A and B are shown apart, each in its own frame.
Chain A
Amino acid sequence: MEGKRRSNDRSYGTLGIEAIPVKDPMDDEPPVMKGLANRATVILGRAFKSLESVVRRSPLLARVYEELFYSRILHRELDMSRLPSGSRVLVVGSGHLPMTALHLARHGHEVTAVDNDPHATASASSFVARVTPYMNVRFGTADGVDADTSAYDAVWVTFNVTPKDKVLERMLQTLSEGAQVVFRNPRGMVTRLYAPVDADCLGLMPHRRRHLFGKESVMLVKGSCGGPFELSETEGGMTLACLQCGLQGVIARCPEDPVLNALGLRPGKTVVSISRQPFGGPLLASVDGRKVAIDAQVAASILLV
């Protein structure tokens, strides 16, 4: 993502171009790269699955694996989400070794874990029955793309789920107001291997926690920042955060914040994106001739027409 941001800066051009881009900024990547990244996602995903199916044979190995890869991440995700205990949680993409589901259950949540691979769900449930038989986890085979999540307080989408953007879109459509989605994204160099989901473009204010080894967790709350943004065809989830430098857009929805509104960021106003800082720093926009520096996360909550 960082890489993409910077290339946007280079394409800074003349102000006041009329065109309002509604396309997914992912399209800017050369198709070869995109294909490679997708292929890598699939291959690495498989590799992890087979690693997990080996590890699950030994409870000790599993414990080490959990400590190594999951404990910290989950701890921070729970800290970020502040879910009250006893919440109904859906884990999408639980895999052979359902560490995320187990961890959430251990924190007192009522967990349902699904995977689109029936082998994975079968071995996961046998693993849980063997190691921690009293755990409050239900398993099922389902695909995230057509799951109905309206009954859940939160959804966890694990790192290897594909196509993650489609799954997330579905989650955000079916979840009820105030429910959360936590998903794991690659960051930094790792984005060259796995294609990340551009969290800023989902129209909700993302909260992030960065982890070691090029991972980050992103949390979205449905209905935050001034209302649920259904990702309709025409809106396409275009936010000020994804507006290319030098282009302009018209604000469709904006959080009702006195300072933001006073600076001219209100529905119906035309904004021009002027420049953007690397590493997720603020971006500079101009509204009615007034220059405003806006934090990237805030900009991600400003939806354009």
Chain B
Amino acid sequence: MGQEILLVGPPNVGKSVLFNRLTGLDVSMANYPGTTVEFKKGEAKAAGKRFTLIDVPGTYDLNASNEAERVAVDMLSGSPAGAVFVLDAKNLESSVHLLLQVLDKGIPTVAAVNRSDLVKGGVDVERLSAETGIAAIRTVAVEGEGIPQLEDLIVGLLDGRVSPARPLFRGWNEAERIAGRVRATPGEGGRRERWGDLMVRPLPGIPLAFLILILIFAFVVGLGMGLRQYVLMPFFEAFVFPPLTAAVEATVPEGTLREILVGEYGFFIKSIEWPLGLVLPYIISFYLALSILEDSGYLPRLAVLVDGVFRRMGLSGSNIIPFLLGYGCAVPAIMSTRNMNDKRKRVTVAAVVCLSVPCVAQSGAFIALLAEHSLLLVALLFAFSLLAAFVSGAVISRLLGVRRDMMVQEIPDLLLPDMRMLGKKLLLRVRHFLKDGVIPMVVIIGAASVLYETGVLLLVSDLMEPLVTGWLGLPKEASTPLILGVFRRELAVLPLLDMGLGTLQLMTASVIALLYIPCIAVIGVLAKEFGLKVSAAMLLATLAASFLVGGVIAQAGMLLF
């Protein structure tokens, strides 16, 4: 471990992009303020010297009262070798204001004026240097411009050649004066800016938002199903299953063991088909859509439009970001609530995500389960998920006495997503799933098939029969997904695939799986973020809600039909 260099600056200036450039790592970046909520460390090298670079969450002010600010202040109060302060060429005044606060901490600092492609006339970095007493350069992080110069400056910090420069004055007057000297006139937004503004006007913004969301839904489902049916499954059936079956048949004598391994529901077949044939396509399609949304800068605009709905839940429109992330995975969704300053509000968002937002793996499983029956059922289930989110949000926020947040948020410019960046992000997510998702899934499928063969699962099924069959109207075996669902959310659904359920049973089972307790990874994060008591309460609440609502649907359905 080398010396530590901090990367500090206001939100959304491109710190994470610079970090990725300097370290060759991939931390998440997106076109909205507050993407990085926890600091990220990475090893980097400049002129042969190794050092540790830390991507500090962006904050507008060192006196703001949120988690990101707290993390930033903590890091600055440590003893780093130096700091790289990233300024926003487009918003110099507030960048300089923060820079003066950071300089006051007495850490050797150099400055990079990023996003300098967005201003005409350029930024006078020499002037900035003269005014603040620290070395400054221009960068365009997305293009890689100015990175070598930045590395030179970092070498200076590492060698101890830079001494801290405490500013004589701070505050807005000084920041305005310096920014005025350095002068950068913002470039014209033109057509893109007009579009950006149109999107937040109720008309046409609201109809447009509906259209965009429906298109995204269609894109995710369509691309996912297409990938599964025409690419991945044919590939496995042609090139993977036959050699696998042949290999097993050559070594394992005919009988139960061979059935367990490569029969129609065999372990090898399922542990390839489920994670790779069923879930992976939706990981690809969902994260592609999400990355486009993130990078385009549409999300903050959506946040403004949905504020009216979210305020009924005691939340503000900005909270739509954890919700959308939750449709991918609840873990980053819960982490992203860290920049909210009220714990009760964080608990509300986390609870709603755990209860009623299916993760992408589970959504893939739902689509596989329901789409064969009718696409309408899929739409119905997702509509139910939205309704459940709204109702549970309203109820929980009342119970916790959450006071509404008042939205004050920067709306970044619309950007055309960069193809290379999209590809990189997608690859990152797929790799993450292959590494952290597939292996646990396979292990659990394997364990389940052993338990099944040894009769343990049957025993449990017998125990749970009154609940599962009597109250929920499902076949006895439907207790299996309930047990597996504790480990991974999609496994609360996938075993239902081959049970030949009727429409009502499908709906009941899906609703239960949706509301059912979150997976083990999420429970871990809940406990870490909110403590054992809160996570235990959430487990109980989700368990109770799923059996209650599922049972009511089943009983009402049986009465009606």
Contacts and interface: CB of A to CB of B under 8 A. Distances in A.
Contacts of A258: 60-61, 63-64
B410 A282 contact: no
B98 interface: yes
A105 B17 CA distance: 62
B408 A284 contact: no
A42 B75 CA distance: 63
A260 B307 CA distance: 18
B297 to A, nearest CB: 10
Given A261-B172, A262-B97, A291 B61 contact: no
Given A258-B64, A278-B202, A293-B304, A263 B408 contact: yes
Contact of B197 (A284, A289, A297): A284
A126 interface: no
A295 B407 contact: yes
B409 A293 contact: yes
Interface in A252-291: 257-264, 266, 274-282, 284, 288-291
27 contacts: A9-B202, A258-B63, A259-B60, A262-B60, A262-B97, A275-B197, A275-B201, A275-B205, A277-B202, A278-B308, A281-B311, A282-B317, A288-B186, A289-B90, A290-B410, A292-B410, A293-B300, A293-B304, A293-B307, A293-B317, A293-B409, A293-B411, A294-B407, A294-B408, A295-B307, A295-B406, A298-B407
Interface in B392-416: 406-413
Interface of A is mostly: mixed
Interface string B294-308: 000000100111011
B117 interface: no
A295 B203 contact: no
A277 B10 contact: no
Interface string A1-44: 00000100100100000000000000000000000000000000
Interface in B1-47: 10
Interface in B155-212: 172, 186, 189, 196-197, 200-203, 205
Contacts of A288: 91, 93, 186
B94 interface: yes
A280 B308 CA distance: 8
A281 B98 CA distance: 30
Given A259-B408, A263-B408, A264-B94, A291 B308 contact: no
B407 A290 contact: no
Contacts of A263: 60, 94, 408, 410
B365 to A, nearest CB: 36
Interface string A208-244: 0000000000000000000000000000000000000
Contacts of A266: 172
A293 B60 contact: no
Interface residues of A, number: 32
B316 interface: yes
Contact of A281 (B91, B307, B408): B307
B91, B305, B413 pick with most chain A CB within 10 angstroms:
B91
Contacts of B412: 291
Interface string A46-59: 00000000000000
The 9 A-B pairs of least Cβ separation, nearest first, read A258-B61, A262-B60, A295-B406, A291-B411, A275-B201, A289-B186, A262-B94, A258-B64, A281-B308
A109 B101 CA distance: 47
Contacts of A9: 201-203
Contacts of A278: 202, 308
Contact of A12 (B201, B316, B317, B410): B201
Given A277-B304, A277-B307, A289-B186, A298 B406 contact: yes
Max chain B C-beta neighbours (<10 A), residue from A6, A259, A289, A297 = A259
B407 A282 contact: yes
A221 to B, nearest CB: 15
Interface centre among A257, A260, A281 (most CB of B within 10 A): A281
Given A257-B408, A288-B93, 4 more contacts: A275-B202, A281-B311, A289-B189, A293-B200
A276 B243 CA distance: 62
A289 B189 CA distance: 9
B93 A264 contact: yes
A145 B63 CA distance: 43
Interface in B74-90: 90
Interface string B279-321: 0000000000000000000001001110110010000110000
A263 B12 CA distance: 13
A242 B442 CA distance: 59
Given A277-B304, A277-B307, A278-B202, A284 B411 contact: yes
Interface string B38-72: 00000000000000000000001101100000000
A9 B206 CA distance: 13
A279 B202 CA distance: 11
Contacts of B172: 261, 266
A144 B61 CA distance: 44
B98 A295 contact: no
Contacts of B409: 292-293
